[in-house]
């Protein structure tokens, strides 16, 4: 038989996890001008118009299917 487990709460690690960035604002993906809404980022050619390509330093990446387009220059 296995030994019974202790139900004591574990001590938290000192310092905790490092804080990450402030977060993401979905309104940064769209531009509103008058009655029209336009998308700022490109859509993924594999996933369709509901998934955006994320902009990195040298590439555009889809977060859903991992499609990558490398940017020149």
Q: Would you say residue 9 lies in a domain?
A: no
Q: What is the pTM of this model?
A: 0.59
Q: What does the pLDDT read at residue 4?
A: 73
The range of the structural domain enclosing residue 39 comes to 27-70
Give 44-70 as a DSSP string. ETTTEEEEEEEE-SSEEEETTT--EEE
Q: What does the pLDDT read at residue 58?
A: 94
Q: Would you say residue 1 lies in a domain?
A: no
Tens digit of each residue's pLDDT, the chain (73 residues) = 667 777 777 766 677 777 777 777 888 889 999 999 999 989 999 999 889 999 999 999 999 999 999 998 7
Task: Give the 3-state secondary structure of residue 6.
Answer: coil
Q: Supply angle C-alpha 31, 64, 48, rounded to 5.
A: 60
Domains held by the chain: number: 1
Q: Would you say residue 15 lies in a domain?
A: no
């Amino acid at each position: 038989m296995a030994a019974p487990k202790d139900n004591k709460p574990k001590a938290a690690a000192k310092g905790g996890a490092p804080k990450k960035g402030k977060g993401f604002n979905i309104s940064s993906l769209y531009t509103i001008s008058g009655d029209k809404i336009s998308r700022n980022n490109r859509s993924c050619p594999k996933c369709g118009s509901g998934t955006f390509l994320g902009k990195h330093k040298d590439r555009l990446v889809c977060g859903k299917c991992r499609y990558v387009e490398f940017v020149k220059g």
